[in-house]
Amino acid sequence: MGFVDNYIKNHDIRKIAVSIIIFGLSLLTFIHLTIAAFQERSLDFYAFLTGAKILVENKQELYNPYVQYQVQEELFKEGFAYERAFMAYINLPLSAVPYIPFLIIPPHVSAELVHLGTLLILIYCITRLYKFHKIKPLSGVTLVLAFFYPLYSSIHLAQIGTLILLVLTEMYLAYMKRQTTKLSLLASLLILKIQYLPIVAFIYAIHPERKKYICIAGPLTLIFLAANYFIMGPDLVAQYIALLETYQTVPERFGMAYEKGLDIYSTLQYFFDVSEKMKFVLPIFLGAHLAMFSFMRSYKFDQKRKDLLFYFIILYSLILSPHTMAADFVFLIIPIIGLLHKTRSKVFYAITVFVLSLFFFYTAYATQWAHTIMISIYALLLLSSTLKKPGKIGRWVQNSMVGDPGLEPGTARV
């Protein structure tokens, strides 16, 4: 009897077949979509490299859209003639700093390097989460991630959101392991994309060691905010506000149209056709975040399900962040991995895959409002399961899962 016959005799042939199918589909899908992502225009990278160049050479014009256009055209005219598209830089000055080293490299080469760097960060984050949750590589989770659209969207746009994913991944691991110092240091780095800065406050609201956390995260965040202000000065702050107002009024001049976003503001725009978006974005953003912070600060949640609280914060922040696009949802890698490995209910497993992953394929540029509503409902399901009195729906979510991630051996779904 040969080696293969002996192996089949001593192993479950069905498990072997499933593993081969998962490996084959995941690998082929990952390779195909990654190659396609490398071949796409890295439009967000254009904006960040433009911001880095102006920050170094002429920072007083950092938020002048006409100067940005001229610099971007000059940067990408060679080798990018067929990819002409203006993307404005609308982030704070510190967000451009990681891109400064790429100025010494030809733009078409630096774009490929950032593609590669983005891919490596994604693989690193997934590996870290797999190790923490004790997930086998040949699992259903791997297959779901292979078809996760925002992963490839992040690679081809090559924007700073991937660095935020890295920060959030390490924050999640530190939060789960109760490493407060590390958690606090990482939280302050969310200033790199300021719309996610409220996460610093939400973590404070739910973390058991609040005093230690805020004594580190608070001053560091203020230092980074002050650094941005000193780089900008009063004149540049006024120029920045003017650019944001223009961006909100005529977004087509700076990239994708506002109604194609995957956030609550785009949903409101779709249903109510709000013409002056700037007037309702800020009040909703501030009001909703203050209300949620007050609730989370005063309510005592079930700490056995603190991982679900973290996932809720990610979902909530994405929905309430202005101009959220598909690539921003790469943060969902954290809850996808965390939830699927511990879900024992087939129904909840299917709902999670559909809402957090597969739904992206036909909502990326079509019925965005439907995706926002479904994500909102799913987020409320998670929140309900963390309450002391979860109710019937909350208990159903609780009963759909087993164990605590990375803490109870033998509970992983593989």
| φ, ψ for residue 105, nearest 5 deg | -115, 145
Residue-wise DSSP of 335-372: HHHHHHTTB--HHHHHHHHHHHTGGGGGTTTT-HHHHH
Q: How much is the average pLDDT of 338-360?
A: 88
Q: How much is the average pLDDT of 39-46?
A: 75
Residue-wise DSSP of 221-288: HHHHHHHHHHHHHHHHHHHHHHHHHHHHH-GGGGSS-GGG-SSHHHHHHHHH--S-THHHHHHHHHHH
The residues that bridge with 401 in the sheet, in sequence order, are 343
Q: Is pLDDT of 160 > 60? A: yes
Separation CA 161–CA 167 (nearest Å):
10
Separation CA 307–CA 335 (nearest Å):
9
Q: Render pLDDT for 219-263 as a digit per residue (tens, 0 to 9).
A: 999 999 999 888 888 888 888 887 777 766 555 555 555 566 778
Q: How much is the average pLDDT of 30-43?
A: 73
Of 254 and 110, which is predicted with more confidence?
110
Per-residue confidence (pLDDT) for residue 38, from 0 to 100: 73
Question: In the chain, how long is the greatest CA-to-CA distance?
Answer: 82
Least-confidence region, from 6-15, 151-160, 190-199? 6-15
Q: Is pLDDT of 2 > 50? A: no
Separation CA 387–CA 298 (nearest Å):
12
Q: How much is the average pLDDT of 136-152?
A: 87
Of 333 and 411, which is predicted with more confidence?
333
Q: Is pLDDT of 293 > 50? A: yes
What residues does each domain of the chain span? 3-399
Q: Render pLDDT for 359-390 as a digit per residue (tens, 0 to 9).
A: 776 555 557 778 888 899 999 999 999 988 88
Q: Is pLDDT of 191 > 70? A: yes
CB atoms within 10 A of CB 12: 9
For the chain, give the mean pLDDT. Answer: 82
